[in-house]
Structure 1
Amino acid sequence: MTFDHASVRTTLKPWGRLDLGRWASNQRQDSAIGEVSFDYSEAGGPDRLLLLKLLFTAEKLSIQVHPDDAVAKSMGMESGKSEAWYVLEAEEGAQVAVGLKRQLTQLEFRKAAIEGSIEGLLDWQAAAAGDVFYVPAGIVHAVGAGLVIAEIQQRNDTTFRIWDRGRSRELHIEEAVAVARLEPVSSRKLPRHITVERAELMSCPFFTLERLDLPAETFWELTASRESWALVVSGGGTIGSLTAAIGDGFFAEADRADIRVGRDGIVLLIATAASTPPIGLLREVPAKDRLKPDSAEVNSDRVGHNVIPFRLSIVSP
């Protein structure tokens, strides 16, 4: 299986944005886009383990929680939903909430959810570009306004809403009470450099998330030994024969591709369905071993490139 562009689906959300800035060539939308999901499917192919998204928030999201593997399987689903957030952009004062300020009983939690006072019990934290947060299944959480976030998660979108700030969407308080871990957690993760170019942002039993910072006009070999998702967050170049620009998503499994970096460098997020960073993911190719460049110049400011092709399906909330 070769490296390939992931398909894109946009989802309308009441908390989303009309203006997606640099993440879309058609920056101003007619309806508020909250999520951009990347997918890759093949006829008869295996089910994917992970889901990669971009989140765009103009307002706070609902307060919510997700089931773990055991609860999800008891409900007939393949897996639970643990997730990680990488903050791409943050307005001044932007915040996220992960876990609670103090331990609660189920009775206290249910009462706070019904009254709406649960928001004041969450552990709200400042969020800035480059921050990484891990949200295990069962942890009560929310995303604030003014953020663009790359999210990697187990492939299950089951969400139990606890409080939705007066919106008319369905709540799932009893389900949330049954699965929530009513305690404070340590959610913020600090990067660990594996090499100069490669940083482990976080690892958990279900996936790893890395950031690759590749300098301008260099040449690399990327090897995906397991299910892997890549997102271009800065700069540009080519991956194999494919153009790679800001907002482009890629999928690979059990294959390799050459990365030719453009004149502005390139920054990639790489999510792998493994509990530890894969050995041999990235290798710089010596000049003597490089193939001749494509006839077209590789750079990161091409004209007419659709960063996110919104002609694809749009799903209502």
Structure 2
Amino acid sequence: MTIDRASVRTILKPWGRLDLGPWASKHHQDSPVGEISFDCGEEGGPDRLLLLKLLFTGETLSIQVHPDDATAKSMGMKSGKSEAWYLLAAEDGAQVAVGLKRPLTQLEFRKAALDGSIDGLLDWQEAAAGDVFYVPAGTVHAIGAGLVIAEIQQRNETTFRIWDHGRSRELHIDQAIAVARLEPASSRKLPRHITVERAELMSCPFFTLERLDLPADTVWELTASRESWALVVAGGGAIGSLTARIGDAFFAEADRADIHVGAEGIVLLIAAAASAPVIGLLRQLPAEDRLRPGYELESGRQVRSVIPFRSSGVPL
């Protein structure tokens, strides 16, 4: 199969925001958008393992937890839901919560969930663009306001909502107690260089997340031997025959494509259904292959990075 542009689904959420720039073709919305969900767009195709999203938070999200594989399968689902966050943009003072400050008994957890004091028991952490967080299934978590997040997850949308900050949506406290790890979590991940251009952001049993920083006016070959998702987070260029600009996402499996990098360079997030970085994912093509006749960005628009990437102590 070929490398395809992912289809886009915009999802309204009460905690979302109206301004999606520069991540959506229509930057300003009439109703608050919480998610842009990407799909491979194949009708009747094979089931996919992963789901790629963008999250936009105008308010704090609910406190929630997701089931692991064993629990999900006992409920008739194919998998649980572990996820990872790459923070694309963050307002001053933005926070995320992953895990609890201290261990709780089920009785303490239930009481805190019922009276709302659970919010004060979460391990809230300052968040900035470039931070990476891993949220394994069973981890109690929440996302604060003022963030744009690229999320990669197992392909399961089951969420047990514990507290919703006064919003009227249904809560699932009994289900949450059954699956939650009532303890602190080690969530923040530090990137690790594989090559100068390629950094492993995090890996888990279900997926690997990488960042590719490719310099201007170069050409690279990308080999997707596993189910893979790519998201343009800065710069621009072309992937195969498709123009690639900020906010564009692509899907590939068992295929190769050339990446023609534009004059601003390009930064890509790559998520693959593998437990470790894929060998041979990326190689630079010889100098004679670096120009593709006729290549230019659509409408002649220049694409520039507007995101202050942060490496959490490890240079990317």
Give the structure 1 partner of residue 306 of structure 2: none
Q: Is the 8 A contact 2:104 2:183 kept in 1?
A: yes
Aligned to 2:256: 256
SS in 2 for 1:22: coil
Report sequence identity in percent: 80
Query: What's the counterpart of residue 26 of structure 1?
Result: 26
Change (3 A) 1:291 1:235: closer
Aligned residues of 2:84 and 2:151 also touching (Cα < 8 A): yes
What TM-score do the two structures reach when normalised by structure 2? 0.93
Structure 2 CA distance for aligned equivalents of residues 245 and 301 of structure 1: 12
Partner of 1:176, secondary structure, is: helix
Provide, for residues 238-268 of structure 1, a one-character-per-residue CA deviation record: whole Å limited to 9, x for no partner: 0000000000000000000000000000000
**Alignment-derived partner of residue 128 in structure 2:** 128
**Aligned 1:202-241 pairs, distance under 5 A:** 202-241=202-241
Q: Report the equivalent of 1:100.
A: 100
Q: What do residues 101-122 of structure 1 show as CA deviations (whole Å, max 9, x unaligned)?
A: 0000000000000000000000
User: Quick one: distance in 1 between partners of 2:239 and 2:291?
Assistant: 14
Asked if 2 retains the 8 angstrom alpha-carbon contact of 1:97 and 1:124, the reply is yes
* Cα distance in 2, alignment partners of residues 14 and 301 from structure 1: 36
Structure-2 change in CA distance of 1:297 and 1:73 (3 Å): same
Q: CA deviation at 1:21?
A: 2.0
Letter in 2 for 1:59: E
Q: Is the 8 A contact 2:219 2:290 kept in 1?
A: no
3-state SS of 2:22 partner: helix
Deviations, residues 151-172 of structure 1 (Å, cap 9, x unaligned): 0000000000000000010000
CA shift for structure 1 position 303: 7.9
Shift of 1:298: 4.5
Matching of residues 135-174 of structure 1 within 5 Å: 135-174=135-174
SS in 2 for 1:156: coil
Q: Distance in 2 between matches of 1:30 and 1:42?
A: 29
Listed one character per residue, the Cα deviations across residues 222-248 of structure 1 (whole Å, up to 9, x for unaligned) are 000000000000000000000000000
Corresponding residue SS for 1:23: coil
What CA distance in whole angstroms lies between the structure 2 residues aligned with 1:295 and 1:94?
43
Amino acid at match of 1:33: V
Partners of 2:20 and 2:174 in 1: CA distance: 35
Relative contact order, higher structure (CA 8 A, sep 6+): 1
Equivalences for residues 1-317 of structure 1 within 5 A: 1-288=1-288, 290=289, 293-298=292-297, 302=301
- CA distances 1:188-208 after superposition (whole Å, capped 9, x unpaired): 000000000000000000000
Q: Distance in 2 between matches of 1:123 and 1:5?
A: 37
Q: Which residue of 2 aligns with 1:309?
A: none
Distance apart, 1:287 and its partner CA: 1.5
Q: Return the alpha-carbon distance in structure 1 between the equivalents of residues 252 and 187 of structure 2.
A: 28
Q: Is residue 263–residue 300 contact of structure 1 (8 Å, CA) maintained in 2?
A: no
Displacement after TM superposition at 1:299 (Å): 8.0
Counterpart-to-counterpart distance in 2, 1:91 and 1:299: 31
2:260–2:290 Cα contact (<8 Å) kept: no
CA contact (8 A) 2:131 2:188 kept: yes
Q: What is the aligned-residue RMSD (CA, Å)?
A: 1.5
Question: What's the secondary structure of 2:265's corresponding residue?
Answer: strand
Contact 2:19 2:27 survives alignment (8 Å) = yes
Partner of 1:308: none
Residues 62, 162 of structure 1: 8 Å contact kept = yes
Using the TM superposition, give the Cα deviation of residue 25 of structure 1 relative to its aligned residue in structure 2, in angstroms.
3.3
Q: Give how far 1:20 is off.
A: 1.1
Give the conservation status (yes or no) of the 8 Å contact 1:245–1:300: no
Structure 1 residue 300 displacement after superposition? 9.9
Offset at residue 295 of structure 1 (A) = 1.2
Q: Please say if residues 61 and 144 of structure 1, whose CA atoms lie closer than 8 Å, have aligned partners that are also in contact.
A: yes
Name the SS for the 1:276 alignment partner: coil
Please, which runs of 5 or more residues in structure 2 have no aligned partner?
Answer: 304-316
CA 292–267 in structure 1, closer or farther in 2 if over 3 Å, else same: closer
Structure 1 residue aligned with 2:307: none
> Within 1, Cα distance between the matches of 2:300 and 2:85?
27
Number of residues of Structure 1 aligned to a counterpart in Structure 2? 303
